Amino acid sequence: MRIDLHCHSTASDGTDTPAELVRNAAAAGLDVVALTDHDTTRGHAEAIAALPSGLTLVTGAELSCRIGGVGMHMLAYLFDPEEPALLAERELVRDDRVPRARAMVAKLNELGVPVAWEQVARIAGEGSVGRPHVAAALVELGVVPTVGDAFTQDWLADGGRAYAEKHETDPFEAIRLVKGAGGVTVFAHPAADKRGRTVPESVIAELSAAGLDGIEVDHMDHDADTRGRLRGLAKDLGLLVTGSSDYHGSRKTCELGEYTTDPEVYAEITRRATGAFPVPGTGGA
């Protein structure tokens, strides 16, 4: 039984549509695949409709979290997608772009820069508004000569005077919300240091005490030593160990099923979940 519990589709930053993803998962010989797009469940319906017989879909999401200034990802499985508190949090993370840009405009106004929200919105046009559009407004106003000059501590660089953080969920809150929606949590690629700073083991222990179910150990961003260390940590803390491809279609090199999860661990995840059930394929559309 081959089980891959971490895959992305075009519902977030993957390149396969949800329907293509499940067809490709079946073609790759998988028995179980999880669809875990960033902060959204919007690909689930299409994946279920296209699900080939012989393949089971685990519904999920990968939640953007932050603790102590360190970004981290939390996989959430088999939660009730309609549960209001978790749904509101996903929307807050996803829809944070406009409030964040507005917060930067407000900070600039406090600093005496007469930038207007309408100006930033006009520059962004059809695109989703972000920090570069605020920077372009500063150039228009003659505050800085170039967009690059706006990305300093004086203005919009991380931690700068007019910088506003993205909303990301506290992982303890994520665990609480996912459990409240009947789901199971697995800390994604916890030691992927290529992506930046990682969460210390002491915090993983605290998350475990707060109800974290597992950690993703077998992942392309972990070398053999790291996997060994994480396996030991999971054993000490009584955490489940998963493995998965973190497939993004052609955007990353990892193939579907390149890393997999032990069937006993999968059975335990489904046993703990009460918010949703794995969906067996019926042939697909």
Residues of this chain that bind Zn ion (CB under 5 A): 62, 73, 188, 246
Give the shortest CB-270-to-Zn ion separation in angstroms. 20
How far is the C-alpha of 152 from the C-alpha of 160, rounded, in Å? 7
Could you tell me the CA-to-CA distances from 108 to 28, 127, 277 in Å, in that order? 52, 22, 48
Give whichever of 168 and 246 is closer to Zn ion, judged by the CB atom.
246
CB of 66 to Zn ion, least distance (A): 13
Burial class (CB in 10 A: 0-12, 13-18, 19+), 257: buried
- Would you say 39 or 46 has its CB closer to Zn ion? 39
The beta-carbon contacts of 189-192 under 8 Å, at least 24 apart in sequence, are 189/73, 189/216, 189/219, 189/221, 189/222, 189/246, 190/72, 190/215, 190/216, 190/230, 191/221, 191/222, 191/226, 191/229, 191/230, 192/219, 192/221, 192/222
CB closer to Zn ion, 4 vs 246:
246
Query: Minimum Å distance from CB 170 to Zn ion?
Result: 17
31 versus 62: smaller Cβ distance to Zn ion? 62
Compute the least distance from the CB of residue 188 to Zn ion, in Å.
Answer: 5
Q: How far apart are CA 159 and CA 267, in angstroms?
A: 44
Distance (Å, whole) CA 60 – CA 3: 14
Q: Which is nearer to Zn ion, 83 or 221 (CB)?
A: 221
**Looking at beta carbons only, is 102 or 248 nearer to Zn ion?**
248
Q: In whole angstroms, what is the distance from residue 109 CA to residue 258 CA?
A: 50
Buried b / exposed e along 145-182 (16+ C-beta atoms within 10 A)? eebeebbeeebbeeebebbbeebbbebbebbbbbbebb
Q: Which residue number, 60 or 281, has a Cβ lying nearer to Zn ion?
A: 60
* Least Cβ distance, residue 35 to Zn ion (angstroms): 11
Nearest distance in Å: CB 63, Zn ion: 10
Using Cβ positions, the residue closest to Zn ion within the complex turns out to be 73
Q: How far is the CB of 53 from Zn ion (least distance, A)?
A: 27
